[in-house]
Amino acid sequence: MPVFYGTDIASSLMLGTAQYPSPKVLADAFRRSGAGVATVSLRRESAAGGAGRAFGDLIRGLGVPVLPNTAGCHSVRDAVTTAHMAREVFGTDWIKLEVIGHPDTLQPDPFGLVEAARILAADGFKVFPYTTEDGVLAGRLLDAGCRVLMPWGAPIGTGRGLANPYALRTLRAQFPDVPMVIDAGLGLPSHAAQAMELGFDAVLLNTAVAKAGDPAAMAEAFALAVRAGRLAHGADPMEPRDMAAPSTPVLGLAVLE
pLDDT bucket at 256, cuts 50 / 70 / 90: low
pLDDT bucket at 221, cuts 50 / 70 / 90: very high
pLDDT of residue 120: 98
Indicate whether 48 pLDDT > 60: no
pLDDT of residue 250: 62
pLDDT bucket at 251, cuts 50 / 70 / 90: low
pLDDT bucket at 94, cuts 50 / 70 / 90: very high
> Which residues belong to the active site?
96
pLDDT bucket at 234, cuts 50 / 70 / 90: very high
Mean pLDDT of the chain: 91
Reported as a single tens digit per residue, the pLDDT across 95-116 is: 999 999 988 888 999 999 999 9
**Whole-angstrom distance, CA of residue 57 vs CA of residue 67:** 15
Who wins on pLDDT, 172 or 257? Answer: 172
| Residue 157 marked ligand-binding | yes
| Residue 184 marked ligand-binding | yes
pLDDT of residue 248: 72
pLDDT of residue 257: 62
**Whole-angstrom distance, CA of residue 95 vs CA of residue 153:** 20
Handedness of CA 156, 161, 167, 170 (dihedral sign): positive
Q: Looking at the DSSP assignment, which residues form a beta bridge with residue 40?
A: 68
pTM of the predicted model as reported, rounded to 2 decimal places: 0.89
Q: What is the mean pLDDT of residues 28-55?
A: 77
pLDDT of residue 253: 62
Indicate whether 21 pLDDT > 70: yes
Indicate whether 54 pLDDT > 90: no
HSE-CB for 96 with a 13 A CA cutoff: 31
HSE-CB for 84 with a 13 A CA cutoff: 10
pLDDT bucket at 1, cuts 50 / 70 / 90: confident
pLDDT bucket at 240, cuts 50 / 70 / 90: confident
| Residue 206 marked ligand-binding | yes
pLDDT of residue 49: 53
Reported as a single tens digit per residue, the pLDDT across 118-170 is: 999 999 999 999 999 999 999 999 999 999 999 999 999 999 999 999 999 99
User: Residue 186 contacts by C-beta under 8 Å, 6 or more apart in sequence?
Assistant: 153, 154, 159, 161, 192, 195, 203, 205, 208
pLDDT of residue 247: 77
**Whole-angstrom distance, CA of residue 24 vs CA of residue 116:** 35
Query: Which of the listed ranges 23-32, 85-94, 188-197 does the model predict with the highest average pLDDT?
Result: 188-197
For a pLDDT cut of 90, what percent of the chain falls above it? 76
